[in-house]
């Protein structure tokens, strides 16, 4: 198989694996990350084979849907092995997958390759803007979280454990993650796209809080 056929075969596999997701991690999320990563990759002149494999496989072992405690991307590695890829390609892709996820506002990013920076930016771009808003509430619903709870406030998590175990409302998630992503982009191309998507979230949150306030007719105490 040539590289093109390997990418197509991986896309077919992932499309089938993610076909019935309703948490915002459906095939179309993976597809957008793949295409966005390819767009940034062309600008950055990175290795498009590694970028595409990592983009396609990036959520297959996600901690949000798997019990794997140590974050090793077992399923992705097995898939790559089944394609008989050389070990340096497999290791480069798995290194990216292990590091791609957001782990809390105060937790240091460990991504260490240009290809990884690109995939991480593409994934983060899909978490912000109008799509990001839709995905956040889809994920909140999937996790039985309230849209908004006036009695809880955002936490800037300092460890992955805290972030992982948080059960707070989806509006808090904007302050705990989504609004911080614009300044965490690795590449200039992603930063440009993020600026505009960030503004969409700011407008949305302003309108949301205005409507919340207007719905509150209780007399002042
Ligand atoms: P990451 O691996 O960086 O979390 P994903 O591709 O898995 O990236 O996407 C995470 C998606 O899940 C985002 O769209 C985000 O809004 C949503 N999400 C994650 N945690 C929460 C949460 N606590 N509340 C609402 N949405 C969440
Ligand atoms: Ni993702």
User: pLDDT for 149-179, tens place per residue?
Assistant: 999 999 999 999 999 888 899 999 999 999 9
Predicted local confidence at residue 119, as pLDDT: 98
Closest residue by Cα to residue 181 from 132, 144, 141, 114: 132
Residues contacting ligand 1 via CB (< 6 Å): 24-25, 59, 62, 64, 101-102, 123, 127, 132, 135-136, 139-140, 170, 173
Average pLDDT, integer, range 10-19: 96
Is the pLDDT higher at 214 or at 198? 198
Residue with the two structure tokens 């992982």: 164
CA 123 / ligand 2 centre spacing (Å): 5
CA of 63 to the centre of ligand 1 (A): 11
CB 205 within 8 A of CB 169: no
Predicted confidence at residue 69, as pLDDT, reads 63
What are the structural domains of the chain?
3-212 (1.10.3210.50)
Q: What's residue 123's pLDDT? A: 98
**What's residue 66's pLDDT?**
79
Q: What CA–CA distance (Å, rounded) separates 171 from 139?
A: 12
Q: What is the model's pLDDT at position 104?
A: 95
What residue's CA is closest to ligand 1, atom 1?
Answer: 101
14, 21, 22, 24, best to mutate for ligand 1 pocket (most atoms within 8 Å of CB): 24
DSSP state of 147: S
What pLDDT does residue 68 have? Answer: 64
State yes or no: pLDDT of 221 exceeds 70: no
Degrees, nearest 5: CA angle 126-129-161: 60
Interval 188-204 mean pLDDT:
98
- Condensed to tens digits (0 to 9), the pLDDT of residues 67-123 reads 766 778 999 999 999 999 999 999 999 999 999 999 999 999 999 999 999 999 999
Averaged confidence pLDDT in the chain: 94
Nearest CA to ligand 1 atom 15: 136
The whole-number average pLDDT for the span 20-49 is 96
């Amino acid at each position: 198989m040539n590289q093109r056929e390997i990418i197509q075969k991986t896309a077919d596999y992932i499309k089938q694996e993610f076909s019935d997701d309703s948490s915002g991690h459906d095939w179309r999320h993976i597809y957008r990350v793949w295409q966005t990563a390819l767009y940034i990759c062309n600008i950055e002149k990175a290795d498009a084979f590694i970028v595409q494999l990592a983009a396609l496989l990036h959520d297959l072992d996600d901690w949000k849907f798997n019990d794997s405690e140590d974050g090793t991307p077992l399923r992705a590695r097995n898939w790559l092995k089944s394609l008989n890829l050389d070990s340096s390609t497999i290791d480069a892709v798995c290194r990216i997958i292990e590091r791609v996820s957001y782990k809390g506002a105060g937790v240091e990013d460990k991504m260490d390759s240009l290809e990884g920076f690109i995939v991480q930016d593409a994934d983060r771009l899909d978490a912000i803007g109008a799509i990001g808003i839709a995905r956040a509430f889809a994920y909140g619903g999937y996790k039985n979280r309230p849209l908004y709870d006036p009695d809880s406030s955002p936490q800037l998590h300092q460890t992955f454990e805290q972030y992982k175990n948080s059960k707070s409302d989806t509006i808090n998630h904007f302050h705990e993650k989504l609004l911080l992503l614009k300044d965490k982009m690795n590449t200039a191309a992603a930063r440009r796209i993020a600026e505009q998507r960030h503004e969409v979230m700011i407008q949305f949150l302003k309108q949301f809080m205005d409507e919340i306030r207007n719905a509150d007719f209780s007399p002042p105490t």
